Amino acid sequence: MSFLEVFQYTRQDSVMHRLDPRSKLVLSIVCATVSMMFMEIIPLLMVFTCLLPLIAAAKSLGRWAKSMKGLGALLVFVLVFNTLLSPMEYPFSYSLSLAIRLVALMTSFSLFFLTVQPDQLSQALIQMRVKFEFAFAMSMAMRYVPTLGQEAYAIMDAQRARGVELDKGNIVKRIRNIIPIIVPLIIVSIRRALSIAESMESRGFGVSENRTYMEMLRFRKRDWALVLSSLLILILVIYVRFFVGLPGWMMWNLPF
């Protein structure tokens, strides 16, 4: 699952990281929409080549390349199956564009998730008038994922030590093996939740109607510039795609 890394926040100091999460959300959605609008190889490659410098601006090319390598098997799968099963005139060209589109879509969204810290995301939601409690619940879920993971491993070890054979047997048996892991995990988590609640309560969680925030996200000039240029590009692409029509050379296909 290493290709999922491209959706994981990495702490960096880059132009992309410093932008407001809201403007990056617009950028990601525009990039994704544009890549969804084409089924031809050349325009998709053009979208893709526009995305690469953005990833570079986030100083994450290395990470991106690694993830794409992890995605390799899936891409080959897409290529082979679509080529074999597609009813299209040029099945290979069609599957190739599907594969490029998949990469472009993933890259578009990774622009957002690579550069937005979960806390920032919840702050953005709060400033978009989502209730603090909901936004905070989301960032807390992120916070406790590794903790729960660790706990699950500890429980697995404890059960193994008592002779539960977790990795043996057929599919049904393996699924049933989850029970001795999941039951203690739920109980431990409920206990943990109570103790977390105690700590949060002691620090005044939810008491004041006028909760303040040490740092508010600020929409700066560069954010406006990014949003406006993204939207402009979107409009331009829609115009060319639907009203003018693509020039002939862009419709080029492989002859098979």
Partner 1 sequence: MALIEFADFSFKYLGADSLALKRIKLTIDNGEYVVITGPSGCGKTTFCRAINALVPQFHRGYVAGNVYTDGKNTREYEVATFASVAGLVFQNPENQLVTLDVEKEIAFGPENLGVAPSEIRRRVEELIELLDLEELREKHPHEMSGGEQQRVAIAATLALKPKVLVADEPTSNLDPQSAEAILEIIAHLNKRGMAVVLVEHRLDLVAKDASRIILMDKGRIVADGDPREVLAMDLCEEIGVGVPKATQVYKRLKTRGIELGNVPLTGVELAELVQEATSR
206 binds partner 1 (CB under 8 A): yes
User: Which C-beta is closer to partner 1: that of 200 or that of 254?
Assistant: 200
Residues 113 to 152 in contact with partner 1, rule: CB under 8 A: 117-119, 139-140, 142-143, 146-147
Compute how many residues bind partner 1; rule: CB under 8 A.
32
Sequence-distant (6+) residues with CB within 8 A of 127 are 22, 216, 217
> Are the C-beta atoms of 115 and 6 separated by less than 8 Å?
no
* 200 touches partner 1 (CB under 8 A): yes
Rule CB under 8 A: is residue 208 a binding residue for partner 1?
yes
Contact yes or no for 79/99 (Cβ under 8 A) = yes
Four-CA torsion 196, 200, 205, 206, nearest 10 degrees: 20
Comparison of 49 and 147: residue with beta carbon closer to partner 1: 147
Name the residue nearer to partner 1 (CB basis): 17 or 101.
Answer: 17
The CB-of-18 to partner 1 minimum distance in angstroms stands at 15
Mutual orientation of helices 61-85 and 91-115 as an angle, nearest 10°? 150
**Taking CB under 8 A as the rule, does residue 204 contact partner 1?**
yes
Which of the residues 3 through 42 are near partner 1 (CB under 8 A)?
11
Q: What is the CA radius of gyration of the chain?
A: 24
Asked if residue 216 binds partner 1 (CB under 8 A), the reply is yes
Tell me whether residue 76 or residue 197 sits nearer to partner 1 (CB atom). Answer: 197
Q: Which is nearer to partner 1, 165 or 201 (CB)?
A: 201
What would the two tokens of residue 93 be? 């060209």
Contact 94, 82 (CB under 8 A): yes
Q: Which run of H or E residues covers position 224?
A: helix 221-238
Furthest C-alpha separation in the chain:
70
**Residue 166: which of 154, 179, 185 has the closest Cα?**
179
Q: Which two tokens stand for residue 134?
A: 């909901």
Does 201 participate in binding partner 1 (rule CB under 8 A)?
yes
Query: Using CB under 8 A, which residues numbered 57 to 116 contact partner 1?
Result: none
CB 3 within 8 Å of CB 71? yes
Q: How far is the CB of 208 from partner 1 (least distance, A)?
A: 4
Residue 12 C-beta: closest distance to partner 1, Å: 11
Tell me whether residue 118 or residue 184 sits nearer to partner 1 (CB atom): 118
5/119 with CB nearer partner 1: 119
Q: Is 214 in the site for partner 1 (CB under 8 A)?
A: yes
Rounded Cα gap, residues 70 and 112, in angstroms: 20
Q: Applying CB under 8 A, which residues contact partner 1?
A: 11, 117-119, 139-140, 142-143, 146-147, 192, 195-208, 210-216
